[in-house]
Amino acid sequence: MGSSTSQLSKELLSEYQELTFLTKQEILLAHKTFIELLPPESQNVVDSLTAQVSRVPTEKVLTLPELKANPFKDRICRVFSTAPEKDSLSFEDFLDLLSVFSDAATPDIKSHYAFRIFDFDDDGTLNKEDLKQLVNRLTGTEEDTQLSPSEMNQLIQNILEESDIDRDGTINLSEFQHVISRSPDFTSSFKIVL
Amino acid sequence: MASFYLRQRSAQSDLETPESVSLSEVFWEEEMESLCSSKVALRTLPYAIMDKRLIRDLREPDMVKASFWERWKKKWRQVYQQLLDVGLRLTGTFGLWKPDLYEIGGLFGTGIQSYFTFLRFLLFLNLLTMLLTTSLVLLPLVWLHSPSPGPAPNISYHCPTSRESQLSMNQIHLHLWDVFTGRAFINTYLFYGAYRMGPENDSQYSVRLAYLLSPLTCLFLCFCGTVRRMVKGLLHKQLLSKDYRPRLSGKLFASWDFCIRSREAATIKQHSISNEFKIELQEEQRSHQMQQQSRKQRAQLLLSYVGLNMFIGLLVVGGISAIYWATKFSQNHKDESLSLLLQYLSPGVIALVNSLGPLVFGFLVQLENYPPNTEINLTLFWCVVLKLSSLGMFLFSLRQQAVLCIGRSDLSSCEPHNYNQCDQCWETSVGQELYKLSIFDFFLMLAFAFLVTLPRRLLVDHFSGQFWVWLGREEFLVPKNVLDIVAGQTVTWMGLFYCPLLPLLSSIFIFFTFYVKKYTLFRNCRPSPYLFQASSATFFFQLVLLLGLLVASVPLIYVISSIPASGNCGLFSNYSAPWQVVPEAVAIRLSPAAQKVFYYLSSNVIWYPILILLSLTLTVCISQSSANKKAIKGLRRQLLWQVREKWHLVEDLSQLLQDSRGPDSWGPRSPNSQSSHPRSFCPGFPCPGSPKPRLFTAESTHSQESQAVLTPYGEEAT
């Protein structure tokens, strides 16, 4: 780790530590991983940190072993990307991603981002279509694991009955966070560590 | 300023109308103001890093003008943060096996990972117990130069010299055998009998008191630790009503393990999630059906349920009595021969009963047609009952044999039990039995791992017949493994008084168990299709551990308080019961005033005020919780009303706008209208994924709906 310590300046490291939940080791490891994803001509420190010059396209990020098997990988990259077309990640986006998925992140921020990941049409609420797509992603694409349409409708009906407190047919962020606060597993399963 | 505003602009550029821009600007300004004025830590805000930088700069615009005090405080905070980081990294407790646990979680999910976390927890419990015992009992004993451990000095009867002196190098079998039966360690600190101490008045430090109190303290601390961990998983349990426990939604939103890295594990997880959903839906339909059953059918169902449970109860009683007879038989013929069968008869019978039991229970439960959740819970319940009661019965029958002979001067009645006077240390023999059980459990686990699971995997992989395909690899069943490990821990706790160094042995066994189980999981097993969620798993583990603790502590408290210790070995030889050390120590060491206080505190009178206080607290808690329930109900109704009112007003407004502008107006629509998506602002507005206002074209049905909207609220209310 000696050589990579000299790559990121101390002020930058402490700034990132202030703005994210990552420790110094984790930030350095993230930088190392990010640099390997960049094309060879921009694999130096200065370029990697300049968002305008070097962004890694989503397809390359999805090759990371931590994300490869995740059914929500495309949504994760989309939510954390700050590019106008939401198709690439800069180093700071990557740090944001790791920060939210780290051990030290608060349950609040995890549930906020989980809501955004599950909101497939990006309209700020989870409506029936979002929930249907969520169920399909969770159960996989094989024949025998998919739910039949009647089962799907029944499931969505039950879920809305349980968690839609204001009965407007959708689940908004507060209702989502209310459900999450009753599930003690969430914080330990919403984790990605390099 | 740039990033927020630019993004909002670009998102809305295609759908702008003057009203929408000003509205969003107002919201945005308000949000920025509240963010800048609040003192919330930056890292907890749900924005991208560049936005957080912006907010930080807005909060403290001029770093130069910050006072010396502010800068110093900031520097100090940074240093403190660094110290905290270093400290966290150094805390070894969370560092042991961390990479292994991540690997397991990544490949198999958090359910199986929780078993290994539980193993680590037990390891630390045992090490702490060991630490406590060593520091309170062993070190002072050694330091105070007490007489070295050895056989009792004043045996007036004719005894053969101890067998150890007859061993020679040729008899290597006997040597190893003695290790396994514990005879090699009889006169070491491993067992109770070897501890010796002069009379109480002689020394400052009462080793007897320490020896007595350290098992009790350890059990109490383990109890507190277990209860604390259990409460964390309590929210998930069926104790709470449906309002407080959104079961399906929790499953939907929180069941994916984001730490899974391999494709196979992801597929397996998807299968299990799908199974869970299907099972839940079936159960719901089933409960609907059951509610429509007639009384007669319900009575029949109840009867068959009770009948099944009684039958299984009878089987459990049968198994336990087998253990009793086996222990009695082996104790009666203890010193006759050194055959393997007799020495390890009771552990063998216990293991046999506990492996056949679950199979039989599972088979019986499946005969009736219960929903899968009930089946699993029932089988699990009876397995736990069987395991813990077999251990309890083992201890009870040991005591029956051993205790019958203590304190008697005429030994003729002890002869049938072959309990000669040289062996009058019944505590040591009980300790020996527990030691043997512990060793047997560990070697049985090793034997199963290497002699059953491994060959099974090899055979299944190499042959491809129908039978082998059906057999498959062994499933890694988390509940079964947890029960085994809890049983081992219960044995350790039972033996705290008789065999004080047993936790050390137990820690070593757990350490090796971790690696053996990990090897078995990775190489020789397939994951079970039934998902075992981490939180319910934690609750279940802690509950079973608590039950084991109870099974271990009740006999211990009984022995300490009522049974006289054996006459010529150990620390409590002259007392009517080991607990008598405490009043004696109080009388010797405390001043009269302190003695009075102590007697008052230990008398019955102290319990009345405590009881009254507890009942008061309980009453307050219960009334508070029912008041909270009422408040929650009222608030939900209020929320429902207000949301409906909001949408009514919005429709009124859009109707008015439409009337004043003509047919090409726009407006948001309520969620109950036919053709729109409901919209809301995400509370973190503005945020990079914030919703765009949508254009809706007015439809002909709109006018009809608005008529409906304008009816008075009384008809709309629920």
Instruction: Please give the torsion angle defined by the CA atoms of residues B657, B660, B661 and B665, in that order, rounded to the nearest 10 degrees.
Output: 20
CB B702 within 8 Å of CB B682 = no
C-alpha to C-alpha distance for B491 and B399, rounded to whole angstroms: 15
Q: Can you tell me the distance from the alpha carbon of B115 to that of B265, in angstroms, rounded to the nearest whole number?
A: 17
Kindly state the tokens that stand for B5: 């505003």
Rounded to an integer, what distance in angstroms lies between the CA atom of residue B70 and that of residue B76? 10
Cα of A9 to nearest chain B Cα, Å: 16
**pTM for this entry:** 0.75
| CB contact at 8 A, B419 and B332 | no
At residue B532, the pLDDT reads 60
**A94-108, B422-436, B700-714, range with greatest mean pLDDT:** A94-108
Is the CB of B250 less than 8 angstroms away from the CB of A179? yes
Quick: pLDDT tens for B460-486.
Answer: 888 877 877 777 777 888 888 888 899
Residue B165 pLDDT more than 60?
no
With a CB-CB cutoff of 8 Å, which residues 28-47 of chain A face chain B? Answer: none
**Which of A68, A72, A106 lies closest to B44 in CB terms?**
A106
Task: Please give the Cα distance from B186 to B164 (Å, whole number).
Answer: 10
Chain A residues with CB inside 8 Å of B266's CB? 69-71
Contact between B27 and B686 under an 8 Å Cβ cutoff? The reply is yes
pLDDT given for residue B462 in this prediction? 85
Interchain CB contact of B117 with A (< 8 Å) = no
Strand pairing partners for B474?
A: B525
pLDDT of chain A, 194 residues: tens digit per residue: 444 444 778 888 888 888 888 888 888 888 888 888 887 777 777 766 776 667 888 888 888 888 888 899 999 999 988 888 888 888 888 999 999 999 888 899 999 999 999 999 888 889 999 999 999 998 887 777 788 888 899 999 989 988 888 888 889 898 899 888 888 778 888 888 88
- Quote the percentage of chain B above a pLDDT of 70: 72
- Token representation of residue B713: 């609220």
Closest residue, chain B, to A106 (C-alpha): B44
B-contacting residues of A 107-126, CB under 8 Å? 108-109, 112-116, 118-119, 122-125
Task: Tell me whether A103 touches chain B (CB under 8 Å).
Answer: no
- The DSSP 8-state label assigned to residue B256 in this structure reads -
User: With an 8 Å Cβ cutoff, is B279 touching chain A?
Assistant: no
Give, to the nearest 10 degrees, the angle between helix A91-100 and helix A73-80.
120
Residue B671 has pLDDT above 60, yes or no: no
Question: Cβ separation of A165 and B639 shorter than 8 Å?
Answer: yes
Contacts of B85 in chain A (CB under 8 A): 23-24
CA nearest to B41, candidates A21, A100, A96: A21
Strands A56-57 and A88-89: antiparallel
Q: Taking CB atoms and an 8 Å cutoff, what residues of chain A touch B284?
A: 154, 158
Residue type at position B423: D
Q: Does the pLDDT value for residue B7 go beyond 80?
A: no
Take residue A172 and report the two structure tokens written for it.
Answer: 């908004």
B529-570: per-residue pLDDT in tens? 665 665 566 777 888 889 899 988 988 888 888 777 776 777
Check whether B422 has a pLDDT greater than 50: no
User: Does A140 contact B at CB distance below 8 Å?
Assistant: yes
Per-residue confidence at B679, pLDDT binned at 50, 70, 90? very low
Q: What local confidence, expressed as pLDDT, does residue A100 receive?
A: 93
Residue range B404-427: average pLDDT?
50
Q: Which tens digit of pLDDT belongs to each residue from B279-288?
A: 788 878 888 8
> pLDDT tens digits, residue range B620-647?
999 999 999 899 889 988 888 888 898 8
Per-residue pLDDT reduced to its tens digit, B321-355: 988 888 888 777 766 555 666 777 888 888 888 88
Q: Does B291 score more than 50 pLDDT?
A: yes
Residue among A80, A116, A134 minimizing CB distance to B252: A134
Residue B682 three-state SS: coil
Alpha helix stretches (DSSP H) within B182-337:
207-232, 247-254, 263-291, 295-332
Residue B270 with chain A: CB contacts under 8 Å: 71, 138-140, 142, 145
Confidence class for position B235, pLDDT limits 50, 70, 90: low
Mean pLDDT, all residues of chain B: 74
Tokens for B503, please give them: 């936790």
Query: CA nearest A185 in B: which residue?
Result: B535
pLDDT band at B166 (very low <50, low <70, confident <90, very high): very low
Strands A56-57 and B474-476: unpaired
Residues of B in contact with A114 (CB under 8 A): 253
Distance CA(B626)–CA(B629), nearest Å, equals: 5
Per residue in B361-390, pLDDT (tens digit) is 888 887 777 777 777 778 888 888 888 888
Which residue among B253, B273, B684 places its CB closest to the CB of A180? B253
- CA distance to partner chain A, nearest, from residue B384 (Å): 24
Chains A–B, number of C-beta pairs less than 8 Å apart:
210
Q: According to the model, what pLDDT value does residue B613 have?
A: 95
Q: Which domains does chain A have, with CATH numbers?
A: 10-100 (1.10.238.10), 107-189 (1.10.238.10)
Q: What is the DSSP string of B349-373?
A: HHHHHHHHHHHHHHHHHHHS---HH
Q: Does B257 touch chain A (CB under 8 A)?
A: yes
Percent of chain A with pLDDT over 90: 18
pLDDT band at B138 (very low <50, low <70, confident <90, very high): confident
Residues 74-93, chain B, touching A (beta carbon < 8 A): 78, 81, 85, 89
The alpha carbon of residue A3 is apart from the nearest alpha carbon of chain B, in Å, by 21
